Structure 1
Amino acid sequence: MRVDVFRQEYFHTKREHMAGVATDLLDFLKELRKNNNRDWFEANKPTFKKLDDDFKTFFGAEILEGLTKTDHIEKMKLFRIYKDIRFSKDKTPFKTNRSLSFSREGAALRGGYFLHVEPGNTYLGGGFFGPNPTDLLRIRKEFEMDDQEIRAIMADKEFSKVFGSEFVPYAQVKTAPKGFSKEHPAIDLIKNKSFFFEKKFTDKEIVAANFSSKVVHCFELLRPYFDYMSDVLTTDLNGVSLLKD
């Protein structure tokens, strides 16, 4: 949903403001985990729709409002609860989590924010998950040429306290990508296929009234990384802009 459309819906809503994730939503997701079938879900769909609407309209708005103070956000997306089971061994039809993403605005602002809420497995993150081949090669070439700036961002005291000092190893090549030396000092960075950071939260933390402000703070810590990667992905290796005037 585009931000301008979402704002119109949100600011015309009269219900009570929320700051943390409703305990009722976690309880619903726990029950869905035990009853992951279409009959149970259909019988409880009105409850789900209300909880999901509250989650998007209020909690999503809390984050969006905070993010837009320091960043340009174009779109917020609430992921569907229905699973695509066509190619999955797990045939349960529903996800047992709720997830939101926030996309930055325009070709010059790269990177995206993500929040995943699930009983016992809530986390937020941001970065570049499975970038296209052109972006992947450009990122790797940048790290090969100069890894000092990215390492300085990752070594920042506050950043590393929240996100650690390395990318989440979702997918990596075993040694080195084609065309890169496995002996290169930055091979620990180059071998990644995704460039994503995560921060986990307990169930107690996510139902607290200050959770949305914590999320916004963590997202704000990603900005130096996003600014760096935006510069990398919108220029060639000589620093010449790839953006059209």
Structure 2
Amino acid sequence: MNFERLFGFLEILNANNSKEWMDEHRGQYEAVKADYVIWLEDLDLQLSKIDENYYSSTGKKAINRINNNLLYHPNKPTYKDHFGAGLDKRPKTGDFYIHLGIEECFVAAGFYKPKSELLKSIREAIDYNGDEFKKIINSKSFQNNFDGLMGDEDQLKTSPKGFTQDHKHIDLLRLKSFAAMKPFNRKEILADDFKEKVIEAYKVLLPFRRYLNKAVTV
């Protein structure tokens, strides 16, 4: 995978962010996208060997649209400044997300600012067995790869409805997001072992994702 070409395309697109420019350079976009789809499909195959419950998908299904949704976000530019892709994307669960962009690059998983019904399910799971979740996020492997949870600074000031202020896991119950992110710099992405690092992050995230996905599906 030629990630230098991918970043180069995103930088040029960002400087010429219009449908007219994209129409003139559609072939360049399709070539970069096709290259990335092949890379994603090989990664998908390797991840499927790690988890017997892995939900496989083609690269074309994994990769997100590069168009911004202008209907709901009319002030955003026409095109995104990144390529996003979700693997192990079982319906109604959190996927394993890869984000390669001009400003930031990372892999992530979990639920970032989920809808109220999902958040309620996660809080109920923590109420029932928060010790297991704390064991996961406090493990050495998790701590070495992920700097806490995303959005932990954005939390309720009081206890959520249905839970007491002195709950054993009130620190978790106050959270509005349950997601973890591992950043990568461009040098790491251009290195030969980038895919291996992504696979390692996937392995570390498996217990975290299994706990949350069980919470929202059981």
Q: Normalising by the residue count of structure 2, what TM-score does the alignment of the two structures yield? A: 0.86
Code of the aligned partner of 2:71? R
Residue 68 (structure 1) aligns with: 48
**Structure 1 unaligned runs (5+)?**
1-17, 236-245
Residue 42 (structure 1) aligns with: 23
Residue 105 (structure 2) aligns with: 122
Quote the Cα distance in structure 1 between the aligned partners of 2:165 and 2:13: 46
Code of the aligned partner of 1:56? V
1:196 matched to 2:179: yes
| Number of positions where the alignment pairs a residue of Structure 1 with one of Structure 2 | 212
Structure 1 counterpart of 2:84, from 78, 99, 117: 99
- Indicate how the Cα distance of structure 1 residues 33 and 105 shifts in structure 2: closer, same or farther if over 3 A, else same: closer
Quote the Cα distance in structure 2 between the aligned partners of 1:97 and 1:114: 13
Structure 2 counterpart of 1:32, from 4, 13, 38: 13
Residue 218 (structure 1) aligns with: 201
Residue 167 (structure 1) aligns with: 149
Quote the Cα distance in structure 2 between the aligned partners of 1:106 and 1:53: 25
Quote the Cα distance in structure 2 between the aligned partners of 1:132 and 1:145: 20
Residue 13 (structure 1) aligns with: none
SS at match of 1:222: helix
Residue 7 (structure 1) aligns with: none
- The alpha-carbon deviation at position 179 of structure 1 amounts to 2.1
Report the more deviating stretch, 145-154 or 171-180. Answer: 171-180
Code of the aligned partner of 1:177? P
1:113 matched to 2:96: yes
Structure 2 counterpart of 1:83, from 40, 50, 68: 68
SS at match of 1:126: strand
SS at match of 2:160: coil
Q: Confirm or deny: 8 A CA contact 2:97 2:109 kept in the other structure.
A: yes
- The alpha-carbon deviation at position 230 of structure 1 amounts to 4.0
- Indicate how the Cα distance of structure 1 residues 150 and 91 shifts in structure 2: closer, same or farther if over 3 A, else same: closer
Code of the aligned partner of 1:78? I
**Structure whose CA Rg is larger:** 1
Question: What is the root-mean-square deviation of aligned Cα atoms in Å?
Answer: 2.2
Quote the Cα distance in structure 1 between the aligned partners of 2:17 and 2:83: 15
Highest RCO, 1 vs 2 (Cα 8 Å, sep ≥ 6)? 1
- The alpha-carbon deviation at position 63 of structure 1 amounts to 1.6
Structure with higher helix content = 2
Percent of matched pairs sharing the same residue:
26
